[in-house]
Every structure is written in C-alpha cells, then in structure tokens.
Structure 1
Amino acid sequence: MTDCSLSILALFAAFSLLVGCAGTPSSARPPPAMDVRTVDPLFAAYDSPEGPGASVVVIHDGQVVLGRAYGLADLQARTPATPETHYRLASLTKQFTAMAILLLVEEGKLRYDDRVVDVLPGFPVYLREVRVRHLLQHTSGIWDYEAFVPDTQSVQVKDRDVLELLSHADRTYFPPGTAVRYSNSGYAVLALLVERVGGMPFARFLHERIFAPLGMRSTVAHEEGVSTVSRRAYGYVADSKGFRPRDQSPTSAVLGDGGIYSSVAELVAWNAALDRHALVSAETQRLAWTPATLPDGSSARYGFGWFIDEDQGRVRLSHHGETSGFTNAIVKYPEQRLTVIVLTNRAGGEPWRIAQRLADLRLGTEGTRVWPFETMPNTR
C-alpha cells in the first residue's frame, strides 16, 4: 500500500462521521461545505434504528469531505451501519473485473481484440466473433445467463457455469460490435478469462493484484465456504410487514459481474489508485474511460467497467449496482477529482440520485439528469 493510500485511509478513519477539510481545491473558489443539515435529509429513508441502512463517502481533491452511515447493517443483530460496513457491491464489481483485464493486457498476456473462443476453452463456437473488447464494452450481444436459470434452481450458479448456460442459445442479440446491450454474462466470462490467462482463481487474482497492493484488507470477492466478509451488511427487501431478509439469490455466487464486498472506507483507496494511475498507466486508464463508438457513429456510453457521459460539460463516470438485497451507486468526475459512493443493503431505492445530488452540492450545480444506464437496454 502506498503512502498516499495510507494517509487517505487514516484520514477517513479519523473523520468517520463528517470531515470538514476541503483539501487542495482544483479552483480558486473553495467548494461548498458538506453540511449535515443538508446531507442527512437525503438519507431519511435509510436513517432508521429499525431498518437497513446506507453508507456514503464523498472524496474531493484526494480528501474525504464526507463519510457517514445510517440505519442497520444487520437487523437481527441490530448492528449499526458504519463507513467500514462491507456491502455486496453488485455491478460496481465490474470496474474491478475490467481492471483485472487491463492488468493482463498491459503485461502482454491478453489483447483487447483477441477472440474469446481462441483463449477460453469451452466458450460456445457460435460466439466465435466475440472479442475481449466486446465483453468489456457490453457490445458482444451475448445472451443473459440469467435467462437460462430455472425458477427451481436450488444450487447457486458460479462463473464457470455461465458457459454451459450460454450453450442453450445459438445466436447473439446482434452481430458483436454493432450495438450495445448490458450483459452480466460478459463480465462472468471476463472473470473466467482472468483465471485462464492470469493462472489463478479470479478471487485470488483480485486479492493479490488489486486489493492487497492498495491496502483494501477486508475487500473480497466472496465465495461461501472459502472466504468471509468482515463487518458484513445483510440484504433486505421491504414488504407489507416491514423488512425481511433477501441476501442471496441463485445468481449471487457469480463473481465477475457482481460478487465483491467492500466498504466506502476501503473504496477510498481504490479511488485514489484510479486518480494516481497506481495500477495501470494513464494511457490505459484513459482508454477504459473512453466510451465505445458504434458503427453508426453513436456512443455506446460505456467504456471498460464504467458508464461514461458528459454532464454540463464535465466528463462523468458512473455505475449503479442492483442485486438481491443491495442497491448501490458511484459517480465520478475525473477532471474535478470528485467521487461520490453510496452503498445500501436493501432492494429498491435510487441511491444514484442521492449520489448525484451530493455531487451537485459539492460542484455547486443544480438539476436532475438522466444517468446513462437508464437508457441502455437490459440494465434493470
């Protein structure tokens, strides 16, 4: 772990409720302070001593300017949520899966334009024109493995099972590279590519090549019976009687598309690594943050693990995550060095709107804007 990551994590731990330090602002005018009287009402739905909660962090110019938590991480044990609570990241996992691929490409072990069928044994032959790049950018046209999981499924699906599920189809939604459609299947296959090319299990690769070097000591691609989640939040769903557990589904064990658990505290180190290009070069990072261009000249609005668009003249990176009992969001303005992360342990809600509101408060902007995932097919 680098000295910079250490100092940022130490700062966050010391100011786990609210940090008033603005760091070194990127403009001459100091940004607006993060006033709890403004912030707390945004989390009113999560701020209950009886219900599942949320954790939030706002990072600006390398400094944590807001870190708060609301509600409970575990209703049965009545464990309060904290900034150190670990939530299932759901599709926020995809930025880590993409990073694993970027590392292998920089090492010369893989190429973006490699045909997946030439690298991964068992990859269906009808997908022979699918390239690694297509999987990263959701332009592969691969069918959703969830469509082939029966309602009676009692054993959890793993990444390796996705290849067999994909064999139930015989065509893609569209010719690879010609359109965009969000695909969890693509990121499960990317995890298998990491295992094949990286020479170790996907969860171990993430730990050894990303989490451990960055000091993310408790972040884990969780495998039941193999690893544990410290300070774990459990997922819930609301019904007419209140909240009931809904922590796992038949697809919750697939790692590449959504299986990482982390906390907003440890994600501070991840964000710092992205800003400093600590894992891959600045050139590679720029490529990951550049949206694919479709044959008609339009933008796919997705790079490698990130939705990408322009918000009031600013480049905006974002992602949402929805899975059994968890709903999360991240919004990042790389040029303004501003990142907002909201993690929640309940199904439903729109934490991305809270994240955007916090970003607006910090940037001094106003307005309700559509997130790019809201217009991409198959994101809900």
Structure 2
Amino acid sequence: MPQPPETSAVDSLFTAYERPESPGASVVVIQDGHVALSRAYGLAELETRTRATPDTHYRLASLSKQFTAMAIMLLAEQGKLRYEDPVGDVLPGFPAYLREVRIRHLLTHTSGIWDYEDFVPSTQTVQVKDRDVLALLSRTDRTYFPPGTAVRYSNSAYAVLALIVEQVSGVSFATFLHDRVFAPSGMRSTVAHEAGISTVPHRAYGYVSSSGGFSPRDQSPTSAVLGDGGIYSSVTELLAWNKALDAHALVREDTQRLAWTPASLPDGTSARYGFGWFVDDDEGRVRLTHHGETSGFTHAIVKYPAQRLTVIVLTNRAGGEPWRVAQQLADLWLGRRAADGGSAPATRPWPFETLPNAH
C-alpha cells in the first residue's frame, strides 16, 4: 500500500465543510485495521456553534442497511429463518399479493415492492414507523416487476426486514441491534434511535442550504423508520464496526461473503447489490460502497476488503457529494492520485447512482 498522503491533500477535499457557520463532516480512513486518518470539519450544531468531532453522531440514513442485513444474517446462522423463505410465511400481515417475495429479494433489492414513501403525503405530520410500512404497501396490489427478475432500490424492503427481525427474535429491532450487533462489535453509543426511548450522544443536527445560509432540517415524516435508515453513529464507532466485519466477529466468513457478493439476475447480469452493500469491480478490486441521504444528512462509505482499506465520510447537510470525496480519499491511499493533485483515473460513478430513491 502506498504511503499516506499529506494532511493538506486531505483537508483540501473538505474545504466546503470548514467554512464559518457551515455544517460539518467527520471522516475516518481505516487501513489494515488501524486508523490512518481521523478528522472532523465544521459544526455539528450551528445554533450552539458546537464543533464536529470524530465522536459526533450522525443519522446514518441508508448506511443503516448494512446493520439491518447483519441482523438477518445472524438469525439465518441460528437457523431461525432462511433466505429463501417467503416473507408472508414469516411475517404476519405482509400483503398477500406479495406472496412470491422472499427474504433474499428484500436483502438484494430485487423484490419489486413499491417504495412506501410514494404513499406518504407531503402534508404528513405524524412520523411513519416500520410497522406502518405494511399498511402503506397494502395501498397497491402489484410490484414493479416479478420478484427476483430485476433490481430497484427499495427502502420498503429494509423496513420489512426490520419487522422480520422483530417477529423472529421476539424483541424490538432496536433492542436486537443493541444486544446482538452493536454491543458485540464494541459500539458503545451507536443507537437505532426511538424518540422518547433512546438518546443520541454528541448529536449532529441536519441542515439544508438556503438563500440565507443554512437552515435546520433534521427530521422528515419518514425519519422514524429504523430498518432503512434510523441508526445514529460516529466515525469512531464505525471503526469498531469495520473491525468486527473484517474479523468476522459476528457471523462466519462464508456468511459475510454473502453480504459482499452481488445477486445475479435471471439474464445473468449482476444486481450489483449484496446484503446491505453495493458491490462492484474497481480495476480488479472488489469494492463495497453505500451512500446515505436523508433530511439534513448525506454520507458515504467505500470499502476494499482485500486491500483492507475503508473510508467513511459523514456530513450533516443535505446535498454535497461525500461519496466522491470518499472515493478520492480511497484513491489517495491506493496511490491512484498524486497528493499534489496530479493525474489519476477519474472517479467512476458508483453503482447506486443508477438506482432511484437511495434513502
């Protein structure tokens, strides 16, 4: 692995996040299981001028999906469910018209089920929760395509997976994550946040750019749905998560390999999604990626398992392109871009950019 770049080369990528009165960003680069870089920029909360730090907790949005997938994998290893189980056989109340949908389809975004957000009116004031997704899915009687035949990114799928975890385990999804995923990974303060039940330490608040600067936008009507995006964590905590994944501390190596292997479609093409991760080939390297985008937050992770390199960028603002920054950082560590801004292969579009409704 090439020598780490100069700090100035890293800082230059985060200029937009270090401006006065600007929402910030936290970043970690993990190389060979160790922190190669951990930095933070800007503000976690504008009103109190609280600085962002590596310990700042952001709402992860769709970075949460890898944890939901892990919960399902844990139950599968215990023999409490199978990936090929029809969801309707496992989850009471799952709409009958979705009888061909299997758990594997939900994990790989090949279920074809509708996006629950399509049925949430713009005037909604009460927050939607995971259990409400079943009723929302009952407002239609068809799928986008026959399950297993195509790929379409689905927040509904991961909300349903959270309900499966609750049904099979007999405990709440948040409790299962804490007891079976977060605590064993050494993630002491990460939480699937439930208002009035749990608290978020060192919390970043979300913002959106407006004509007068930045305005608060921390929650939306779907912010309480946990399975697709309701986890709060920090780059420090995600360091522990990354170590647990690489050490196969939660599930066996062959089980973890399933998460990092893209599903295949009937025509032989790749769905480019495993269990909670986008998967593609980057110049012969297996690359795992995800981005998270929700009200007031935008994040990215890029991971090269064979090279033992992971980059995570968390930000508390809507918009921006932290996935491009994360890839540029990865390229720096992979030696594909000179620290002084010299020539290198252009950052390729990530797989999720071809799929709608990334949450």
User: Above 0.5 in TM-score?
Assistant: yes
Matched residues, percent identical? Answer: 77
Aligned residue number for residue 354 of structure 2: 375
Deviation sequence 1:7-56 (CA, Å, 0-9, x none): xxxxxxxxxxxxxxxxxxxxxxx522231110001000001231100000
- Out of 180, 204, 222, the position equivalent to 2:151 is 180
Number of equivalences:
351
Measure the CA separation in 2 of the matches of 1:378 and 1:245.
22
Aligned residue number for residue 27 of structure 1: none
Q: Say whether 1:98 aligns with 2:69.
A: yes
Question: Does the 8 Å contact 2:186/2:241 carry over to 1?
Answer: no
Aligned residue number for residue 127 of structure 1: 98
Measure the CA separation in 2 of the matches of 1:50 and 1:151.
30
Secondary structure at the counterpart of residue 314 of structure 2: strand
Q: Say whether 1:322 aligns with 2:293.
A: yes
Aligned residue number for residue 254 of structure 2: 283
Measure the CA separation in 2 of the matches of 1:41 and 1:377.
30
* The 10-residue stretch of structure 1 (292-301 or 365-374) with the greater mean CA deviation from structure 2: 365-374
Measure the CA separation in 2 of the matches of 1:220 and 1:77.
23
Measure the CA separation in 2 of the matches of 1:208 and 1:334.
26
Deviation sequence 1:130-188 (CA, Å, 0-9, x none): 00000000000000000000111110000000000000010000000000000000000
Q: Say whether 1:164 aligns with 2:135.
A: yes
* The 10-residue stretch of structure 1 (78-87 or 40-49) with the greater mean CA deviation from structure 2: 40-49
Question: Does the 8 Å contact 2:72/2:161 carry over to 1?
Answer: yes
Give the TM-score taking structure 1 as reference length. Answer: 0.91
Give the 5 Å matches for 1:100-249: 100-249=71-220
Aligned residue number for residue 308 of structure 1: 279
Deviation sequence 1:344-365 (CA, Å, 0-9, x none): 0000000000000000000011
The aligned amino acid for 1:375 is: T
Question: Does the 8 Å contact 2:60/2:292 carry over to 1?
Answer: yes
Deviation, structure 1 residue 375:
1.5
Secondary structure at the counterpart of residue 270 of structure 1: helix
- Aligned-CA RMSD value: 0.8
Question: Does the 8 Å contact 2:184/2:250 carry over to 1?
Answer: no
Aligned residue number for residue 18 of structure 1: none
Question: Does the 8 Å contact 1:92/1:258 carry over to 2?
Answer: yes
Aligned residue number for residue 11 of structure 1: none
Structure 2 gaps of 5+ residues are 337-343
Question: Does the 8 Å contact 1:293/1:299 carry over to 2?
Answer: yes
Measure the CA separation in 1 of the matches of 2:355 and 2:160.
20
Aligned residue number for residue 341 of structure 1: 312
Q: Say whether 1:48 aligns with 2:19.
A: yes
Structure 1 gaps of 5+ residues are 1-29
Question: Does the 8 Å contact 1:135/1:186 carry over to 2?
Answer: yes
Deviation sequence 1:234-265 (CA, Å, 0-9, x none): 00000100000000000000000000000000
Measure the CA separation in 2 of the matches of 1:200 and 1:233.
28
The aligned amino acid for 1:256 is: G
Secondary structure at the counterpart of residue 45 of structure 1: helix
Deviant stretches of 4+, over 4 Å: none
